[in-house]
Amino acid sequence: MSQASNSPAVFRGVIAIELRDGSPPERAALPAASAGEVAALLGRDLAKLAPDVADCELALLAAHFDPAEALRPAWPLHRHVQELLQRAPGQAQGARVIGFGADAQGALPVPMQADAALAGGGLRVLPFVLRGGAFDSVAEQLESKLFDCGMAQADAALALQEGLGARIEHIRYLSLHDLLAMMAMQYQNAGLEGMWTLLETALLEPAGEWLLDAPPEPLARYADGEVRIALLDPATWQTRNAPQQDDAAKLERGFTLFQMRCRQYAAVLEAHGVPVQYVHCADGQPHCLHFPLQRWRD
Domain borders along the chain are 11-187, 191-296
Q: What is the pLDDT of residue 292?
A: 56
Q: What is the pLDDT of residue 92?
A: 65
Q: What is the pLDDT of residue 245?
A: 86
Q: What is the pLDDT of residue 249?
A: 94
Q: Which residue, among 43, 58, 135, 125, has the nearest Cα to 98 in the 3D structure?
A: 58
Q: DSSP letters of 188-210?
A: HHTT-HHHHHHHHHHHH-TTS-E
Q: What is the pLDDT of residue 298?
A: 43
Q: What is the pLDDT of residue 253?
A: 95
Contacts of 154 (CB under 8 A, 6+ apart): none
Please list the ranges in the chain whose pLDDT falls under 70.
1-8, 92, 291-298
Compute CA 268 distance to the chain's CA centroid, rounded to the nearest angstrom. 11
CA distance 214 to 226: 19
Contacts of 246 (CB under 8 A, 6+ apart): none
Quickly name the fold that domain 191-296 has: Transcription Regulator spoIIAA (3.30.750)
- Which neighbouring-strand residues pair with 29? 63
Q: What is the pLDDT of residue 6?
A: 41
The dihedral through the CA atoms of 53, 55, 60, 65 has a sign that is negative
Contacts of 250 (CB under 8 A, 6+ apart): 242
